Chains A and B, each alone.
Chain A
Amino acid sequence: MTTFALINVTLLGILLATALAIARMRALYEATMLAALLSLVTATLFVLLDAVDVAFTEAAVGVGISTVLLLGVLALTRSWEAVTSQRRRLPGLLVVVLAGGALVYASQDLPAFGAADSPVQLHPVTDAYLYESQDEVGIPNTVTAVLASYRALDTLGELVVVFTAGLAVLSVLGPLARPEQTRPGADFHLADYRVIRVITRLLLPFILVFALYVLFHGEYGPGGGFQAGVIFATGAVLYGLVFGLDRAQQVIPSWALWLFICLGLLLYLGLGVATMLLGGSFLDYDVLSPGHPETGQHLGILLVEMAIGTTVSAVMAMIFFSFASRGASR
């Protein structure tokens, strides 16, 4: 068994054990921490499977944002789960056994893991994305090239989904849906501890600069708009957790967040309309720089990544502030 297979099996074993532990765990705070562990092991597995951009996103999103949101909600609701009766368990087990049997039976037709001659690898689009993209788009990170240029319409759809989720959370938990009673602010802030205050003040500028670095460097290495947006939002969440929600909402007011949510999406759509007005099709970046299509592609990808970063960071920060202020107003 090669080293790679050994590491693979070990990590997959840890993944499976964590998933089973989450299923058994009735204490939901502990289940949330196990879910964060699951996301970390998944990020490591993604690196093993050569998906570094995806590992980056999973580590930032799955471990950071998901865990914070779940912990916030558990503080607002009950954190223990009732015992699942036998009556409820049987249908689930039946479905799982049948689905598992069908999946294993169907998986016999799947190509061997890592095969270089599978239909996925032999498809002509592989050469187009890996090699022709170097002539047409000219950036080394082919994942960013495909995400922001070849399949920019899919990414626009994804940005609209994030925008809609932000709208949904805002309408369900936002200022228009606030219950009437308010409660005086907490008597205790994390900022009362000097160590945490100093370290947070030291780290915050680096977190924000790192977010910008990831945004602009996404063409040459792992990174891009989504990861940058999530890292930026994590900085805002850290500030809110340590220095209190009131101060965080003074520094980043709600109207600014709403403005940035809309600005990112408008920039993306505006770019598409601009390329149409310049004579190309929707989101065809070649026409942005007439005579130099590669420069046009670079410019288009940069603008698109900035739009994504803006909207995603504003939406994630706004979702966190909505959950946190719901707890504060109870």
Chain B
Amino acid sequence: MIASHYVYWMLFAVMLTGLYVVISHANLLKKLIGLSVFQVGVFLFFISLGKVTGGSAPIISPDIQTYSHPLPQVLILTAIVVGVATLAVGLALAVRIFEAYGTVEEADLIARDPAQPASGLTAADDDAGER
């Protein structure tokens, strides 16, 4: 079981690390980096499903018999480009948020947002609690 599925499990670990960063970390930029890590795990998992042992890249040449499947590669090629496009938009929004509020930490953003009821908690309080 391990010998045939170890690739999937290690890629799940990469995906879950990225997911943990997106959920737990409060810094917007760190979340975006964690999202990239998550994406990388998903892309590798998807492409590993199309791999054939002993095959080669799906570029037809007369002296190769087995090819890996081209369709997952097409879909992931699209996904990579879409991923960087969304990263760019996310980063642009982070820059504007920083210019408007002076911070990219979630707790500080909620505290400084005039539309939110003031909770009184900031990232500085989290630091105090950590110590």
Residues 82 to 99 of chain B near chain A (Cβ within 8 Å): 82-89, 91-96, 98-99
Known: A22-B21, A70-B29, A95-B19. A142 touches B60 (CB 8 A): yes
For chain B, the count of residues having a C-beta within 8 Å of the partner chain is 91
Q: Taking the complex as formed, is A273 at the interface, i.e. its CB lies under 8 A from any CB of chain B? A: no
Min CB gap B13→A, angstroms: 5
A85 touches B73 (CB 8 A): no
Min CB gap A81→B, angstroms: 4
For chain A, the count of residues having a C-beta within 8 Å of the partner chain is 109
Q: Which residues of B contact A147 (CB under 8 A)?
A: 74, 77-78
Min CB gap A288→B, angstroms: 22
Min CB gap B71→A, angstroms: 6
Q: Taking the complex as formed, is A196 at the interface, i.e. its CB lies under 8 A from any CB of chain B? A: no
Min CB gap A324→B, angstroms: 12
Known: A73-B91, A85-B126. A158 touches B78 (CB 8 A): yes
B29 touches A74 (CB 8 A): yes
Min CB gap B40→A, angstroms: 5
A169 touches B88 (CB 8 A): yes
Q: Which residues of B contact A13 (CB under 8 A)?
A: 10
Q: Which residues of A contact B129 (CB under 8 A)?
A: 85-87
**B93 and chain A: residue at smallest CB distance:** A172
B9 touches A107 (CB 8 A): yes
A66 touches B8 (CB 8 A): no
Residues 243 to 258 of chain A near chain B (Cβ within 8 Å): none
B85 touches A23 (CB 8 A): no
Q: Taking the complex as formed, is A121 at the interface, i.e. its CB lies under 8 A from any CB of chain B? A: yes
**A64 and chain B: residue at smallest CB distance:** B84
Min CB gap A76→B, angstroms: 5
Min CB gap B11→A, angstroms: 7
Q: Taking the complex as formed, is A53 at the interface, i.e. its CB lies under 8 A from any CB of chain B? A: yes
A9 touches B66 (CB 8 A): no
Q: Which residues of B contact A211 (CB under 8 A)?
A: none
> Of A124-132, A187-195, A259-267, A290-298, which binds chain B?
A124-132
Q: Which residues of A contact B41 (CB under 8 A)?
A: 19
Supply 26 A–B pairs (Cβ within 8 Å), ascending by A. A15-B14, A19-B13, A19-B14, A20-B17, A31-B30, A46-B44, A50-B55, A53-B57, A61-B80, A62-B36, A73-B29, A86-B130, A91-B24, A103-B12, A107-B12, A118-B49, A120-B72, A129-B71, A130-B67, A143-B70, A146-B70, A147-B77, A158-B78, A158-B81, A164-B85, A166-B85
